[in-house]
Amino acid sequence: MPHSPQAKKKALTRVKRILGQTEALQRALEDGADCAPVLVQIAAIRGAVNGLMSEILESYIQEELGAVADEEGRSARLAQDMTALVRTYLK
């Protein structure tokens, strides 16, 4: 969970954007829109949710593993590796 005011604001902005996209999808479905634009909207929502998930997971990994101090910096490297893995998986 993002704890800094900037990170929290950024996450909430993403949620509001996702909400707007979801409302647009609902309107399109209610209005009987063609399949192609509806599918594009669904893909956009999925991408936005994946971006939010990535951001929150990265924050969590950094908080949990980045805070663990060790002499060799292994925890910091592990946090970086896991963050890169999350980004790759959610793309």
Condensed to tens digits (0 to 9), the pLDDT of residues 56-69 reads 888 888 787 766 66
Task: Kindly state the average pLDDT of the residues 38-46.
Answer: 96
Q: Which amino acid is at 37?
A: P
Place of tokens 């509001």: 16
- C-alpha to C-alpha distances, 45 to 3, 16, 38, 48, 76, nearest whole angstrom: 24, 12, 11, 5, 32
pLDDT at 90 over 90: no
- C-alpha to C-alpha distances, 69 to 25, 37, 43, 47, 84, nearest whole angstrom: 46, 49, 40, 34, 20
Q: Which of 32-46, 59-73, 77-91 shows the lowest per-residue confidence on average (mean pLDDT)?
A: 59-73
| Residue-level pLDDT at 64 | 78
> Predicted confidence band at 14 (pLDDT cuts at 50, 70, 90)?
very high
pLDDT at 18 over 90: yes
Q: Which of 2-11, 33-42, 61-70 shows the lowest per-residue confidence on average (mean pLDDT)?
A: 61-70
